[in-house]
């Protein structure tokens, strides 16, 4: 066997004790930023070192210090300028030197989660999120809605609305329970417009309720089953709490995940896919700092956002697109603006159905009907003058006829 990863002389054993005393002061430091997670790192280090005994004590300290160091690196971005954070970082470096700990090596195992307290609930009720939530909190859970449709447009859980230039694969959701990835590609060869051409949805394993299930949809392939051919969560007692059903053959699939209070709609309109979700707020927020790229949570990165007011040149004139979209979307909100943008840039009238489907999903999924319509001034194509519109009116009628037949 090789040498242990760390060793410590008897004269150095007082250093962890002194550090722990300083650490407890940091735990109660009043000015720690609410965004900085250094207190969590501190508490994990304390828990890992409190009960170290015997011959493995030195190696255990080194394992705990390496875990502590890794934790501080993960939270570095949100802890800049935080006194407690910088004190911890310097303290770790000093202790690793004093204890002759190598930077590379094993780390402390994570603390086990306490077993869930489901006393008083029937076994199957644990897989009914709403019933379980009411039992524990005495009130119904709150819900949030997110959608991605068209070129693509993102409505976030916080009711922000972005139009994105994203191409390739991007995560819509990445949390403790769900992973959803959308893949975008050009609507046509040489086009700047992109559409969602593939969706991958992973329902992560939940011991009491479901096996892990994967759903994949691609253009012209909207299956009414999970990847393994099943239509529910498996053979576990709560397997029926995850179910998939076809609402319209090849056009609309709905997945209900009652065990996490979530419903998902996947649609195809023309040559594009759309995604809508109603998720329990607690589920939507169940992610770590490392899972910070989620379009449903933060929207499109700023570098990937585009203005819908830049859509006035394309295969279809803006006023023609307005006439088409007005048939399906009488309210000139962001769904209407998105429809006009998509029809203008793509020349495809099927985008009217994509925006209409997203609006209908929002109508069903939004907990507050007053938030259905979002209005963003100056975000859509500006209207042409009345004289210019008269010149377009015959063309408009011709386009409506051609695009419908």
pLDDT digits (tens, 9 = 90+) for 306-345: 887 765 566 678 899 999 999 999 999 999 999 999 999 8
> Is the separation of the CB atoms in 397 and 319 below 8 Å?
no
Strand order in the sheet with 168-174: 168-174, 178-186, 194-203, 213-218
- Specify whether the backbone of 178 is left (phi greater than 0), alpha (psi in -120 to 50) or beta: beta
pLDDT digits (tens, 9 = 90+) for 235-262: 888 999 999 999 999 999 999 999 999 9
- Distance, in Å, from the CA atom of 91 to the CA atom of 93, rounded to the nearest integer, reads 5
Q: What is the mean pLDDT of residues 276-298?
A: 93
Element (H, E) at 98: helix 83-98
403 φ/ψ angles, rounded to the nearest 5 degrees: -80, -15
Average model confidence (pLDDT) across the chain: 81
For 35, 187, 299, the CA distances from 342, given in Å and listed in that order, are 38, 10, 19
Q: Give the pair of three-digit tokens for residue 353.
A: 């159905």
Q: What is the mean pLDDT of residues 276-294?
A: 93
Output 118 or 279, whichever has higher pLDDT. 279
> Is the separation of the CB atoms in 241 and 203 below 8 Å?
no
* Beta bridge partner(s), residue 203: 178, 213
Residue for token pair 């996947």: 266
Using alpha carbons, select from 118, 338, 135, 148 the residue that is nearest to residue 209: 118
Q: Give the pair of three-digit tokens for residue 30.
A: 């009043």
199 φ/ψ angles, rounded to the nearest 5 degrees: -130, 135
DSSP 196-228: EEEEEEEE--BTTTB--EEEEEETTB--SS-TT
> Is the separation of the CB atoms in 263 and 254 below 8 Å?
yes
Using alpha carbons, select from 76, 272, 297 the residue that is nearest to residue 180: 297
For 151, 402, 405, the CA distances from 399, given in Å and listed in that order, are 21, 5, 10
Using alpha carbons, select from 279, 255, 250, 273 the residue that is nearest to residue 265: 255
> Is the separation of the CB atoms in 396 and 403 below 8 Å?
no
The CB density around residue 123, as the number of other CB atoms within 10 Å, is 11
Using alpha carbons, select from 173, 179, 106, 154 the residue that is nearest to residue 335: 154
- Distance, in Å, from the CA atom of 94 to the CA atom of 172, rounded to the nearest integer, reads 41
- Per-residue pLDDT at 389 exceeds 70: no
Q: State the Cα torsion 60-66-70-75 to the nearest 10°.
A: 80
pLDDT digits (tens, 9 = 90+) for 125-137: 789 999 999 999 9
221 φ/ψ angles, rounded to the nearest 5 degrees: -145, 85
- Per-residue pLDDT at 118 exceeds 60: no
Which of 26-30, 72-76, 349-353, 363-367 has the lowest average pLDDT? Answer: 26-30
- Per-residue pLDDT at 208 exceeds 60: yes
Q: What is the 3-state secondary structure (H, E, C) of 301-336?
A: CHHHEECHHHCCCCCCCHHHHHHHHHHHCCCCCHHH
Q: What is the mean pLDDT of residues 365-369?
A: 89
Q: What is the mean pLDDT of residues 375-385?
A: 64
Residue for token pair 């909207």: 222
pLDDT (0 to 100) of residue 107? 77
pLDDT digits (tens, 9 = 90+) for 18-61: 555 555 444 444 344 446 878 888 888 888 877 777 666 778 88
> Is the separation of the CB atoms in 55 and 82 below 8 Å?
no
Output 16 or 9, whichever has higher pLDDT. 16
Q: Could you tell me the pTM of the whole model?
A: 0.66
- Per-residue pLDDT at 116 exceeds 80: no
Q: What is the mean pLDDT of residues 379-388?
A: 50
């Amino acid at each position: 066997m090789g040498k242990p990863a760390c060793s410590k002389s008897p004269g150095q054993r007082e250093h962890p004790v002194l550090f722990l005393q300083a650490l407890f002061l940091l735990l109660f430091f009043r000015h720690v930023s609410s965004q900085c997670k250094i207190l969590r790192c501190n508490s994990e280090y304390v828990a890992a070192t409190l009960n170290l005994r015997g011959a493995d004590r030195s190696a255990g300290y080194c394992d705990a210090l390496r875990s502590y160091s890794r934790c501080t690196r993960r939270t570095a971005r949100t802890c800049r300028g935080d006194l407690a954070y910088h004190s911890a970082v310097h303290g770790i470096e000093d202790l690793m030197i004093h204890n002759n700990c190598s930077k590379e090596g094993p780390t402390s195992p994570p603390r086990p989660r306490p077993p869930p307290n489901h006393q008083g609930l029937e076994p199957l009720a644990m897989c009914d999120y709403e019933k379980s939530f009411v039992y524990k909190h005495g009130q119904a859970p709150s819900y949030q809605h997110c959608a991605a449709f068209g070129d693509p447009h993102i409505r976030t859980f916080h009711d922000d609305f972005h139009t994105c230039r994203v191409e390739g694969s991007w995560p819509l959701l990445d949390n403790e329970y769900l992973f959803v990835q959308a893949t975008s590609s050009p609507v046509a060869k040489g086009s700047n417009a992109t559409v969602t051409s593939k969706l991958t949805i992973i329902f992560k394993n939940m011991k009491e309720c479901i096996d892990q299930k994967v759903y994949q949809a691609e253009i012209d392939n909207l299956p009414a089953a999970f990847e393994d051919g099943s239509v529910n969560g498996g053979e576990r007692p709560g397997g029926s709490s995850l179910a998939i059903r076809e609402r319209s053959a090849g056009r609309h699939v709905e997945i209900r995940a009652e065990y996490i209070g979530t419903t998902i709609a996947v649609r195809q309109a023309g040559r594009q896919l759309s995604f809508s979700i109603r998720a329990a707020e607690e589920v939507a927020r169940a992610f770590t700092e490392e899972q910070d790229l989620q379009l449903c949570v933060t929207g499109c990165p700023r570098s990937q956002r585009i203005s819908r007011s830049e859509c006035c040149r394309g295969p279809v004139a803006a006023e023609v697109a307005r006439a088409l979209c007005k048939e399906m979307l009488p309210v000139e909100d962001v769904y209407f603006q998105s429809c006009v943008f998509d029809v203008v840039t793509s020349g495809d009238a099927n985008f009217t159905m994509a925006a209409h489907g997203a609006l209908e999903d929002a109508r069903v999924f939004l907990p507050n009907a007053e938030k259905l319509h979002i209005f963003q001034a100056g975000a859509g194509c500006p209207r042409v003058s009345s004289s210019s519109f008269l010149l377009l009116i015959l063309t408009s009628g011709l386009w409506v006829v051609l695009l419908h037949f």
